[in-house]
Amino acid sequence: MRKAPSKAAQERIERMLNELFKLPGNDQCADCTYKNPRWASYSLGVFLCIRCASLHRKMGTHISKVKSVSMDRWSTDEVQFMNKLGGNKQVNNRVNPSPALHPLPLALDDDQ
């Protein structure tokens, strides 16, 4: 089992995570563009709203690993990986370079 980081280390990780919010596009959900996302898929490198985070969790951890930005503990490696991927805009540009041709399949009711 991993040892919990010290308080100083955790504060440093939180500052790094907050710096990621300043990247263009990270002020909105990567999937639905809802403002001020408070969740993230650290395996995909994107910030998400609570609704889309729920959908990512339903996909399974083999596809998307989701954490709360404020309620969960983050490791330095997780934050650095998100930083390496470049944020919502860069990830979305790689995954779906033509959103007008391939819109996101968001339904009003998730449970269908």
Residues in the chain with pLDDT values less than 70: 1-3, 105-112
What's the pLDDT score for residue 99?
Answer: 81
Residue 101 confidence (pLDDT): 82
Residue-level pLDDT at 53: 96
Spell out the long-range contacts of 79-84 with Cβ–Cβ below 8 A and sequence spacing 24 or more.
79/13, 79/16, 79/17, 79/20, 79/42, 80/16, 81/42, 81/43, 81/45, 82/17, 82/20, 82/40, 82/42, 82/45, 83/16, 83/20, 84/45
